[in-house]
Structure 1
Amino acid sequence: MTAVYSKEAFGKNTTSEISDLRLKDILQKMPREIFIRNPRKAWTSVILSILMVGLGYFGIAISPWYLLPLFWVFTGTALTGFFVLGHDCGHRSFAKRKWVNNLVGHILFLPLLYPFHSWRILHNYHHAHTNKLEHDNAWQPLKPEIYGSLGGFGQWIYRQVRGWFWWVGSIGHWALLHFDWRQFQGKERQQVKVSVLVVLAGAAIGFPALFATVGVWGVIKFWLMPWLGYHFWMSTFTIVHHTTLDVPFTAPEEWHEATAQLAGTVHCDYPRWVEFLCHDINVHVPHHIASCIPSYNLRAAHQIIKENWGDAVKERRFSLALMKEIAQECHLYDENSNYQSFKTYHAKQSIKL
């Protein structure tokens, strides 16, 4: 079935029907150099992230208590840079050799306690089913009837994560989905098992060493708070990339790959220091058009997409107003308006009663 997206689904400035667009039509507009891996740029990015994380930890070590929040934010953001480079490794856009991508990915993910292969496999599934209802495994809205069946406590948890506590959502995603290798099959199960064991071994060595050298407060100061800062950005990037009032989720039978990747992904401008430390992961539309584009080429690719399909591209700026829109409105699936708020849902339930 061919998907037909209305003008509203693509934004107010859409002037042409693009429901017959194919991914290869978009890729053909991209020059070859957009996809070429550059070892110098890749390894320079790694060195830069290591230096920035080191600077953050140095600041934590020497700063008085009242400056610690500043360095926690900085270090957590710099650690997100580790994740973004590991993200390139997962998409094989960091290095040509698979073993290099796997090794670097495991090393960069280790401080974050993320099993590399389980994340890689689940994340690739997200790319294959972006904004496909009941399939996408990243931030899709529940159908009202599913939400209604959760029970009081389940509904409360869901309301927190889809509301003003969105920033802890990735912690639940990390804990619930990435350590159970039984959900994978064959070769993938063995890969995930290795990644999980690497993380567990790292934690078994690292945490006792931290407790022995810096104590409980040191673990909180040097690991927990920066780690929570990383998850703030992990949750924020993920939900903003695919969740605004004009982003459509579609049923599997109506889902259309090219238009879902192009119009179901949001480009969001953050403060430049955040984009610098996080290697432009916010430039997300071209990454969904072709996940093999290295992070250092995303801006050039985005410009090409804008020049050709600018009416379909959604661009926002990170702000309190944007997060208020997401936290107060983008809750449950609605086939007509994309989203239904919890307030609207419960009002309807009260009328029925």
Structure 2
Amino acid sequence: MSALIAATAFAATVAAGQDLRKARVAEWKPIVAKFQKPSALRAAWQLSNSVALYVLLWFLMYWSLKISHLLTLSLTILSGAVVVRVFIIMHDCGHGSFLKSKLANDIVGFVAGIVVFTPYYHWRWEHSLHHASSGDLDRRGTGDVWTMTVQEYLDSSRWMRCVYRLARNPFVLLVIAPVFVFVFRQRFSSRKANSRERWSVWWTNLGILGMALTLSWVFGWKMYLFIQLLITTVAGAIGIWMFYVQHQFDGAYWERGEAWDYTVAALQGSSFYRLPKILQWFSGSIGFHHIHHLSPRIPNYNLERCHRAHPIFQDVKPVTIRSSLNSAKLHLWDEERRKLISFRHLKRLQKRGADTGASARNPPHARRQC
């Protein structure tokens, strides 16, 4: 009964057109509480079918190289998608939501981290910072896609603007950056990490080495490196794209200081990426990202059920595959207009400002494009 009352109050708050920040934790928490309970059966089934499929695809890729490179490419896409699914399992373990036992979560999460080239404890620490600051302009930088405001971009040197434009280039963002992050950057710990996070990196590196030696013994080291690089590239591209669309979309939310609100950041600053069922399966339902950010303790296999449990969650405007492609054109957060805009849009604004004599937001050095 209390959950029903809370749900009604939560819906009434938004239906009345009031600010979402009034829908505090006390109002939405009872709605999501029943979906926060892990299921050992669901978790075991998800883990077993993911691991079995990944192992099978490795052998099929090895076999396919003798038949058709086109077949190998198709299997690479499938393998990369399965790695994303394994990553989501690790992700849920990091939130303590995949299994009931903390120890079981940590064991599964650590082993899954080796498979996806990610140090579990170190990643969990950084990811917790992302959840605590998502949508907060004053706390950007950890676990985020690099995002500048318009004014920050205009105030930057020409060199820094060129670097930023390069970082936001789709090829760099989806191909070069993922390989760099998963193969190289995550082999080292952050200077801010504590001893457990640091040791997590080195133990994961040791686990990856053991996995690489074993698979090299089975398939040959050249074949292992070739297949592993293909899978890592595809999985990284899919994973980074998913993460990008979840926070970089038309209608996204960013605020500063006290104006920032957790509930609003979750429901408005995290997208509902509506995917076909097969893609939802491979991505571990993480497209229901607004639900995940509202309550990270909900395991991925319960996200859709929670989304369907109350109209307030379904009222969030979905991002489709087609509309998500427009996200690649969004580069800067415009604090005046409170939306993400493209470099081209900024150029039009600069031209319009120059034509009208406005110069406050169009300093001379900003006119020199990269």
2: CA distance between counterparts of 1:27 and 1:178? 37
SS at match of 2:100: coil
Highest relative contact order (Cα 8 Å, sep 6+), 1 or 2?
1
Determine whether 1:318 maps to 2:321: yes
Larger radius of gyration: 2
Contact residue 267 and residue 315 of structure 1 kept, 8 A:
yes
Determine whether 1:125 maps to 2:125: no
1: CA distance between counterparts of 2:148 and 2:160? 12
1: CA distance between counterparts of 2:160 and 2:61? 37
**Shift of residue 55, structure 1, vs aligned partner:** 2.5
Distance of aligned partners of 1:54 and 1:213 in 2 relative to their CA distance in 1, 3 Å threshold: closer
1: CA distance between counterparts of 2:36 and 2:270? 20
User: Deviations 1:256-283 (Å, cap 9, x if unpaired)?
Assistant: 1111111111111223222112221212
Contact residue 118 and residue 178 of structure 1 kept, 8 A:
no
Partner of 2:174: 167
1: CA distance between counterparts of 2:106 and 2:217? 31
Distance of aligned partners of 1:43 and 1:208 in 2 relative to their CA distance in 1, 3 Å threshold: closer
Partner of 1:180: 189
Amino acid at match of 1:88: D
Partner of 2:357: none
SS at match of 1:167: helix
Question: What does 1:223-262 correspond to in 2, within 5 Å?
Answer: 223-262=228-267
Partner of 2:43: 42
**Shift of residue 299, structure 1, vs aligned partner:** 0.6
SS at match of 2:139: coil
1:144 corresponds to which of 136, 150, 154? 150
Amino acid at match of 2:324: L
Q: Which runs of 5+ in 1 are unaligned?
A: 1-12
**Shift of residue 144, structure 1, vs aligned partner:** 2.9
Distance of aligned partners of 1:277 and 1:245 in 2 relative to their CA distance in 1, 3 Å threshold: closer
Amino acid at match of 1:117: Y
Determine whether 1:100 maps to 2:104: yes
SS at match of 1:79: helix
Distance of aligned partners of 1:109 and 1:267 in 2 relative to their CA distance in 1, 3 Å threshold: same
1: CA distance between counterparts of 2:215 and 2:55? 16
2:138 corresponds to which of 134, 137, 140? 134
Determine whether 1:56 maps to 2:62: no
SS at match of 2:340: strand
Contact residue 332 and residue 341 of structure 1 kept, 8 A:
yes
Partner of 1:4: none
1: CA distance between counterparts of 2:300 and 2:340? 31
2: CA distance between counterparts of 1:197 and 1:299? 36
Q: What is the TM-score when the length of structure 2 is the normalising length?
A: 0.81
Contact residue 178 and residue 233 of structure 2 kept, 8 A:
no
Question: What does 1:180-199 correspond to in 2, within 5 Å?
Answer: 180-184=189-193, 189-199=194-204
Contact residue 210 and residue 218 of structure 1 kept, 8 A:
no
Contact residue 131 and residue 250 of structure 1 kept, 8 A:
yes
Determine whether 1:114 maps to 2:115: no
Aligned length, in residue pairs: 331
**Shift of residue 148, structure 1, vs aligned partner:** 4.3
Contact residue 265 and residue 314 of structure 1 kept, 8 A:
no
Partner of 2:84: 80
**Shift of residue 47, structure 1, vs aligned partner:** 0.1
Distance of aligned partners of 1:209 and 1:235 in 2 relative to their CA distance in 1, 3 Å threshold: same
1: CA distance between counterparts of 2:111 and 2:216? 22
2: CA distance between counterparts of 1:49 and 1:110? 15
Q: Which runs of 5+ in 2 are unaligned?
A: 1-13, 355-361, 365-370
2: CA distance between counterparts of 1:128 and 1:28? 20
1: CA distance between counterparts of 2:185 and 2:226? 25
**Shift of residue 150, structure 1, vs aligned partner:** 5.3
Distance of aligned partners of 1:204 and 1:149 in 2 relative to their CA distance in 1, 3 Å threshold: farther
Determine whether 1:276 maps to 2:289: no
Q: Which runs of 4+ in 1 moved over 6 A?
A: none
Partner of 2:271: 266
1: CA distance between counterparts of 2:349 and 2:91? 42
Partner of 1:66: 70
2:31 corresponds to which of 14, 29, 32? 29
SS at match of 2:125: helix
2: CA distance between counterparts of 1:24 and 1:18? 15
